[in-house]
Amino acid sequence: MRVHRYRATRPGRRRRRTPVLAAVLGVAVLVIAGLVGVNLSGLGGPVLRQGESPSPSVTAGTEPTSSAQPTGSTEPTGGAPEESGPAQQALATLEVKGRGPKTGYDRDLFRWNGYDFDRNGCDQRNDILRRDMTDPEVKPGTNGCRIEAGWLQDRYGGEAIRLTRDKVDIDHVVALSNAWQMGAAQWDEQTRREFANDPLNLVATTQRLNRQKGDGDAATWLPPKNRCDYVARQTAVKVAYGLAVTRAERDAIARILDTCPGQPLPTGDEPAPQQSVSTSPTPS
């Protein structure tokens, strides 16, 4: 268009044609802008092409918000887990594997009670009876070794019972056959003998509970009382001798230790803790 043709000396015609010309120019500009996608400054947003939908507008000076924005603390609602205690930490170090065969197992290979572990002149059965009984009666003429009777502080039953020696069993906390299947089959004779006579792995208890247990592990048998001490002792023995655990055994121990997360690892020297005195008749 040659807009300069319209001279200022013809004001009348200019007034009549200016609105029409402005309208034509406006339409032309909009058409061209729509074809090339030019953003017209001041029109409030980007030009939309055919088929596009308008985007949500954002008011100047404001930040967009999101309903997914987290609020408050991101810590778990249950709080931080309690710190693991010594027994739990030791359990985590044990190898987990399937139970090995019992082929070749013989209890006599361990020479239980045929070894003076601490070189004090007494056999291990009498040493453990002395450790786990209070007011023990010692047979004269035995150099203070043979314990005849006493108050058994039964860790497994959680009671103190007056018993004669023939009513008390010495339990291997980690049973000899379990040890054989979980690694001891490869040991030499000296290691098996030390394992079988180690005070850490020996506990005096009633015949009834010892025979209930048999050669079970924590997955198949647990004592009625003092379970935290029992599984911690099993863990300590297996760590000391490099024995493995089955997955079921490891899980059973872990469940018990979850109820006493600060449980320490026992040693072999500490006496049995005082138990409540039994009100049951003394076994004959």
Verify that 163 and 241 share a domain, yes or no.
yes
User: Considering the entire predicted model, what is its pTM?
Assistant: 0.68
The pLDDT of 109-130, averaged and rounded, is 88
pLDDT band, very low/low/confident/very high, at 13 (cuts 50, 70, 90): very low
Residue 71 lies in a domain: no
Verify that 100 and 21 share a domain, yes or no.
no
Verify that 17 and 126 share a domain, yes or no.
no
Rounded distance between C-alpha atoms, residue 4 and residue 187, angstroms: 112
The answer to whether 198 touches 268, Cβ cutoff 8 Å, is yes
Verify that 91 and 166 share a domain, yes or no.
yes
Q: Provide the residue range defining the domain that includes 20.
A: 3-36
Measured from the Cβ of residue 60, the count of other Cβ atoms closer than 10 Å reads 5
pLDDT band, very low/low/confident/very high, at 82 (cuts 50, 70, 90): low
Q: What does the pLDDT look like over 198-217, one tens digit per residue?
A: 999 999 999 999 999 999 99
Verify that 8 and 149 share a domain, yes or no.
no
Residue 202 lies in a domain: yes
**Residue written as tokens 């000391």?**
240
Q: Assess whether pLDDT exceeds 50 at residue 182.
A: yes
Q: Assess whether pLDDT exceeds 80 at residue 134.
A: yes
Q: Assess whether pLDDT exceeds 50 at residue 254.
A: yes
What residues are paired with 96 via a beta bridge? 245
Residue 30 lies in a domain: yes
Residue 49 lies in a domain: no
Quick one: angle between helices 247-258 and 227-241, nearest 10? 130
Q: Assess whether pLDDT exceeds 90 at residue 20.
A: no
Verify that 267 and 127 share a domain, yes or no.
yes
The pLDDT of 135-156, averaged and rounded, is 95
